[in-house]
Structure 1
């Protein structure tokens, strides 16, 4: 189910405006900025193979003190950035799902972490819920407005790719 686009976009834009993200060349730089602003470290990890068995390509695990973001290592750098920014979207929007006694996904990804320390756990596999759609919107807004990755600019293809994805359709570029 798709949720009303305009309301979804406005909510995400307001969160990003409040944060005042600087222009950046990488998702990793933006994570460091978000971590400083929130006063909580964000750790980035490749998602282990055991954690990808159900189609999951990204995950966020929050403890009392830190955030742990996982991304699919076997994909392109732009896709990894999108996955990371999607998880950052969950963090910025305060998303969560109720924790259950099923700690198997956590043990697959962080075998040394005591499951009792986990406060929030979100895994990214589909986009059918409002939280997933909001996180996707945040990632897309950051990619189109803040992130200027060097892997696009280095080859002079940024505008071509942005046009192909429809990111400048509204502005007339």
Structure 2
């Protein structure tokens, strides 16, 4: 599927938000879990989410199709569930846009090993580099819109930024709002 128009992306975001069906009280962790479930529904297969340490790698997430037809979605293990949600929404965007995931049976993907990762994991994630250029940009744009729509639905608390703050700054601030301060308040 090629690039979507702004109107098509907006309609797709509306659909995804409805299908995620997150209550106002849902946490980012709940949203991550539900995103994995939705990926399984859309792919018509079992999807396993794995949060792993991805140090010194050019990516923060990857979706891999196993030989048995199930999928595993690797996501950087971050202390912030908001950050994890952004990564998972990017992987969901690839599915929504019809981009093909890496496959354990893809010999070309298997040959692009990353030397700094353990053997099997490197072989699994190596295929992720098959999504380059336009695919990545399209997935990132759609994921950003989805994240914005999902965070809009959450009530704005006193610690969250005002509406005139740039959207990317707002998303960063919302992600950090859930970390308790180590500085005692007077």
Question: TM-score if structure 2 supplies the norm length?
Answer: 0.59
Cα distance change on mapping 1:109 and 1:30 into 2, 3 Å: farther
Shift of 1:143: 1.4
Distance in 2 between the 1:158 and 1:135 partners? 30
Counterpart among 140, 143, 146 of residue 147 in structure 2: 143
Counterpart among 122, 133, 139 of residue 128 in structure 2: 122
Counterpart among 19, 22, 44 of residue 21 in structure 1: 19
Count of residue pairs brought into register by the alignment: 151
1:102 aligns to 2:111 (yes or no): yes
Counterpart among 74, 93, 98 of residue 97 in structure 2: 93
**Residues 111-162 of structure 1, C-alpha deviation per residue, up to 9 Å, x if partnerless?**
289x6xx7x93259xx97211111112212221224678xx75x82586377
Which residue in 1 is equivalent to 2:48? Answer: 43
1:57 aligns to 2:60 (yes or no): yes
SS at match of 2:127: strand
Question: TM-score if structure 1 supplies the norm length?
Answer: 0.63
Which residue in 2 is equivalent to 1:80? Answer: 84
Kept after mapping to 2: 8 A contact 1:59/1:123: no
The CA RMSD measured in Å over matched residues stands at 4.0
Distance in 1 between the 2:121 and 2:74 partners? 16
Shift of 1:75: 4.7
Cα distance change on mapping 1:34 and 1:57 into 2, 3 Å: closer
Which residue in 1 is equivalent to 2:72? Answer: 68
Distance in 1 between the 2:138 and 2:99 partners? 9
Kept after mapping to 1: 8 A contact 2:48/2:72: yes
Distance in 1 between the 2:99 and 2:45 partners? 16
